[in-house]
Amino acid sequence: MNERDRSDGEGFVRAADETLRGAYDPPMSLDEYVDRVLENPVAAASGARYVLAAIESEGTREVRERGERLERYRFFDDPFNDGEHAVLGNTAALNAFVDDLRAAAAGRGNDETIVWIDGPTATGKSEFKRCLVNGLREFSKTEAGRRYTVEWNVTGAGGGVGGPGGAASLSYGDGGDASAWYRSPVQAHPLSVFPEDIRESIAEAVDDDAYPIAADVDLDPFSREAYDRLESVYRDEGRRDLFSAITDRDHLHVTSYVVDVGEGIGVLHAEDDGTPKERLVGSWMGGMLRELDSRGRKNPQAFSYDGVLSQGNGVATVVEDASQHADLLRRLLNVPDERRVKLDKGIGMDLDTQLIVISNPDLDAELDRHADREGADPLKALKRRLTRHEFRYLTNRLLEAELLRREVGGVRGVPTVDGVDDGNEGDPSTDLGDDPERDPGDEPGAAALTIDVRGDDGTVTERELAPHAVGAAALYAVVTRLDTEDLPADFGLIEKAKLYETGDIRRETGAGDDERIAIDDVDFGGRDGRNGIPVTYTRDVVADLLGADADRSHPELAVERVVAPTDVLDAMADGLSAAPLFSRSEVAEFESRKAPVVERVRERQREDVIDAALAEATVAEETVAEYVEHVYAWDADEPVETERGPEEPDALAMKVFETETLGRFDEDDYYGTDPTREVAEFRRQRVIRALTRYAWRNRGDEFSVDDVELAEIPELREVLDANDLADVKRRFPELDPTEWADPPTDTETERVKSATIDRLVDRGYSPASAELTSRAVMRDARDEWADLAADEGDDASRRSGRDRSGGNGGGVSWD
């Protein structure tokens, strides 16, 4: 057994040793560090450049958001923590943030920029901060991402440095260990030890023209104290190699550190208080100051370097909930401008940090307090430096569903939903649901979610969010975030949501044809995602539903423990008026958007149940392809190529397909096996015309019927899907939907229901949720079933009076 795999105390200790061994470099000398920089300039990168390198180190992947294809940095998927704090969506804003870093790292005039991440609550801003910290931490543990600073020991220099008897006086506080090493409290850059002209020479020697290294920083006050004391001793001794003596390995180490909050990353939280100076850089400690003030001035050793800028020196500084610290924003101006802050009169500190402020929209009001003063606006300079990147609510249903699964069930994993359309609209990972082989577990919105809920008495009960429940909640939340003012005529919110998800949609026209609408064909106003139902509201609604039994029962199945999609939608709509975060107008508007979502969810459930019922009756693609080939040859008056050689199109096979498989015609529509005018028009208008359109869309390639993607043609896809109630009625003429809840023994209804439930369970339903869903579908089907019977009677009456010489010339609707 591998020592690391041992499941005892010693094994875990060895595993910890191995983990830490890979996270740090051994202390090195200053010249060894310079060699490292010349080999890998990231070892001396500026804060902006270092953050950029960390983000770029994880590569990119292609996603579709708001209908556009984008390259997304995997760094923001939080791959280091199994996606726990992944930023879902907002890829365009994240890419713009990276562009800011790239410009700042290159010194193209953007190094004065303060990045501003703005957006309403629950849009992923906090996840962005956590993901940033996680990623920088893990990058610093890699060989390519090591971050370095210096540590000092002033003992051993001559008779001792600092006072009578050689007692060391360098420490962080009272007393101190005379043999101790003290690291720079603000992660001082190792190159800052060199004189300025030497730093410039090192920078020129680095082979990286795109991104200059951070060579324009001076020692921090604490390190300067150590340097000056060592320099005083060795200068008094007359050392000609003064710099070498000061930076000897007995006094100076270059050491790597793991980047984290307080160690290269400063984070100022909303609840942090204190004077502006204390929050920004730290404060003098009175008692210690009096004891250590040996030179008649304030000693940097008596300073508490716990301000956000001190902690963030070297990498990044994050101000959370910036509107709570608006008084500090103006004081941050000198940081990007001068790269320096003052600790006190005469004592300053160089800084190298990427400034990031995060806020809700209320910061806008704070920044505009003096807007009416125009040129005299005291915040004008600040606003000029703030580069705003707006986080919005997700408008991609699949991403919203994945986010909700994380919020409700703690589901973890690096995001795999990317919304990229591969050209197959039936792909369940990209479509709102048209695939006859769809398994609800194929996408986060359709998959069931089982959660253990602990009751007040301590007992644990397993509850199920039925298939499509998460997707229903996600879709409802998304449609509340969509603007209606920019909707084209006869264009619905569901279609807009689907367009954002897949990039294009197919719609049927009044002439029975279909058209594709791409995201670029529609001019949306750009306001989507700024308002709407946040995921936190949906999470709380679902949590309440999971905590109580539903008002329903079954003699054998725990249906009361199943949360159905309609349960979630009803609860979301019913709770709007009591939620303080919505205005009255928003409540009314959001309530009105529930109906189309309910209808869409019913369609999804109906597709699941009918597909399961007709699983064995679904037409094979080979059968459809054979029919298409014969129809094409029939129209062209050409033979069909077979293994036996060219043969005439099989008129009987086409008739059987049209009467039995399609169920659109009967014996009276043929002269033997020859089609009447009505059948002939059906073949030309609904089949061949579809092939022609497909060939035109794929022009440029040599067209062959063998190359046709049958599922791409709506008319043929409907045959392949075979998911209509008429197909169920034709396949199971004795099935009675009114008896579905409790079918009589040895009836077709009982047999079909049993097989349907089994297939639904195989596809991700539980027996309880399959029972509830199939009942709901069959309840809705009863009236339609009766309407179908009435329509069939009307059709029979019309056919009995039809002119057998050719009919009325009307085409039969494929639908």
At 471 the pLDDT is: 95
At 695 the pLDDT is: 67
Which residue has better confidence, 814 or 313? 313
**Half-sphere exposure at residue 691, Cβ-oriented, CA atoms within 13 angstroms:** 21
| pTM confidence score | 0.80
Strands 562-563 and 460-465: parallel
Residue-wise pLDDT tens digits, 250-308: 999 999 999 999 999 999 998 888 898 999 999 988 877 777 776 667 888 889 999 99
Neighbours of 166 (CB within 10 A): 14
| Mean pLDDT within 713-737 | 72
Which residue has better confidence, 160 or 778? 778
Strands 640-642 and 645-647: antiparallel
At 423 the pLDDT is: 38
At 381 the pLDDT is: 72
State the Cα–Cα distance between residues 202 and 213, nearest whole angstrom: 9
| Mean pLDDT within 143-163 | 77
At 135 the pLDDT is: 97
Residue-wise pLDDT tens digits, 59-108: 999 988 887 889 999 999 999 988 999 999 999 999 999 999 999 998 86
At 422 the pLDDT is: 39
Percent of the chain with pLDDT over 70: 81
Chain-centroid distance, C-alpha 56:
17
Residue-wise pLDDT tens digits, 333-365: 778 878 899 888 888 999 999 999 999 887 877
Three-class SS of 296-328: CCCCHHHEECCCHHHHHCCCEEEECCHHHHHHH
Q: How confident is the model at residue 812 (pLDDT cuts 50, 70, 90)?
A: very low
State the Cα–Cα distance between residues 623 and 193, nearest whole angstrom: 79
| Mean pLDDT within 671-685 | 91
Q: What are phi and psi of 454, to 5 degrees?
A: -90, 125
State the Cα–Cα distance between residues 813 and 619, nearest whole angstrom: 20
Q: Which residue has the tokens 């220099």?
A: 157
At 382 the pLDDT is: 76
| Residues 6 or more apart whose Cβ sits within 8 Å of residue 323 | 359, 360, 362, 363, 366
Query: Average per-residue pLDDT in the chain?
Result: 83
Which residue has better confidence, 268 or 414? 268
Q: Is the pLDDT of residue 627 over 80?
A: yes
Q: Is the pLDDT of residue 559 over 90?
A: yes
What letter does residue 608 receive in the DSSP assignment? H
Tokens linked to 58: 């994880």
Q: How confident is the model at residue 431 (pLDDT cuts 50, 70, 90)?
A: very low
At 321 the pLDDT is: 87
- Answer for the pair 428, 435: CB distance below 8 angstroms, yes or no: yes
Neighbours of 467 (CB within 10 A): 29
> Identity (one letter) of the amino acid at 815?
D
Residue-wise pLDDT tens digits, 161-197: 444 333 345 666 544 454 588 999 999 999 999 999 9
Helix residue ranges per DSSP H, 109-159: 125-140
Helices 594-613 + 584-592 axis angle, to 10 = 30
Q: Is the pLDDT of residue 805 over 90?
A: no
Which residue has better confidence, 432 or 375? 375
Q: How confident is the model at residue 22 (pLDDT cuts 50, 70, 90)?
A: low
Residue-wise pLDDT tens digits, 487-514: 888 788 999 999 888 888 877 665 556 6
Which long-range contacts (C-beta less than 8 Å, at least 24 apart) are formed by 662-667?
Answer: 662/719, 663/726, 663/727, 663/730, 664/812, 664/814, 665/812, 666/799
Please give the C-alpha separations between residue 27 and each of 32, 179, 339, 469, 800, in angstroms, as whole numbers. Answer: 10, 16, 28, 56, 97
Helix residue ranges per DSSP H, 376-492: 380-385, 397-409, 469-480
State the Cα–Cα distance between residues 249 and 624, nearest whole angstrom: 80
Residue-wise pLDDT tens digits, 629-649: 898 889 888 998 888 888 999
- Answer for the pair 787, 485: CB distance below 8 angstroms, yes or no: no
- Answer for the pair 471, 445: CB distance below 8 angstroms, yes or no: yes
pLDDT winner (highest mean) among 48-57, 412-421, 612-621, 633-642 = 48-57
Q: Is the pLDDT of residue 726 over 80?
A: no
What letter does residue 263 receive in the DSSP assignment? B
At 699 the pLDDT is: 55
Please give the C-alpha separations between residue 793 and each of 167, 424, 797, 800, in angstroms, as whole numbers. Answer: 108, 38, 6, 11
| Residues 6 or more apart whose Cβ sits within 8 Å of residue 172 | 182, 185, 301
The mean-pLDDT minimum among 151-165, 178-192, 681-695 falls in 151-165
Tokens linked to 607: 């597709």
Strand partners, 284: 303
Which residue has better confidence, 486 or 166? 486
